[in-house]
Amino acid sequence: MVGTGGKVMGKRKHMAGLSMVELMVTILVLAVLMAIAVPSFRAVMNRGNVVSAVNSLSADIQFARGAASSEHRFVSICRSTTGTQCDIPTGGTHDYDVGWIVYSYDVSSTGADQAYVAGSSNMTLLRSTPQIRGVSVRATDANIFTFNQTGQFVASAGRTGLNFVACPRATVSDASDTLGTNQAGKQGSLLVLRQSGSLTVTPLPLTSSCLL
């Protein structure tokens, strides 16, 4: 454009960007979305941890049953913090989230529910599951449990099966012995092992405790 006096007038440039008000509104919207998304994400992570723990225990129980039937031996599972020996607590803590082992041994007059002995010519360590984080897993008791040559749970007086309860802890990386919580959005799971050897998994009723 040519102005008066023959001078060339430049075009005014338009500066694009956010005003302070627009920036504040954007930050507020992001904050609201984060406040909604983070708890939901945590709930998904917690639930995923519970499912993973339940699947791991269920898979080892089913594996133990199958191995007992195919090998015609006793196959036992016990709580284990080391992965190399059975840890039977003397108190009332029946936590399996510390880890467990699966092992087999010959059927003999010694009977079932024998503790694993590393290096024993009669015993074979089949599987070892390490500590589970973010989930508490409590059982009816923490004694050794065994499957016989037909894949059935070896019962004893007053013990014809076992229950396990898995509940999410406050954080997904929590490796303490803290009992998890069972509430909406953070629901636990109940595993029931019957004398027949069958195993069922159901959601833990929200009125139920994570401690058996």
Indicate which CATH number applies to the domain containing 77.
Answer: 3.55.40.10
Query: How many domains, in total, are found in the chain?
Result: 1
Domain that holds residue 133: 19-203
Residue 210 located in a structural domain: no
pLDDT on residue 45: 60
Exposed, middle or buried: residue 38 (CB in 10 Å: 0-12, 13-18, 19+)? exposed
Answer whether residue 8 is part of any domain: no
Q: Is 177 left (phi over 0), alpha (psi -120 to 50) or beta?
A: alpha
pLDDT at 37: 47
Is residue 40 assigned to a domain?
Answer: yes
Q: Is residue 143 part of a domain?
A: yes
Residue 6 lies in a domain: no
Q: Considering the domain boundaries, does residue 187 fall inside one?
A: yes
What per-residue confidence (pLDDT) applies to 212?
87
- For 159, residues 6+ apart whose C-beta sits below 8 A from its C-beta are 141, 143
Task: Count CB neighbours of 113 within 10 A.
Answer: 16
| Both structure tokens of 134 | 């973010």
What's this model's pTM, rounded to 2 decimal places?
A: 0.79
Q: Is residue 1 part of a domain?
A: no
* Residue 209: inside a domain: no
The backbone torsions φ and ψ at residue 64, rounded to the nearest 5 degrees and listed phi first, read -60, -45
pLDDT of residue 42: 59
pLDDT at residue 4, as a whole number:
53
Which pLDDT does position 49 carry in this prediction? 87
203 token code pair: 């959601």
List the chain pLDDT tens, one digit each, 212 residues: 555 555 555 555 554 556 777 677 777 767 665 655 445 555 566 678 899 999 999 999 999 999 999 999 999 999 999 999 999 877 777 999 999 999 999 999 899 999 999 999 999 999 999 999 999 999 999 999 999 999 999 998 889 999 999 999 988 888 888 999 998 888 999 999 999 999 999 999 999 999 98
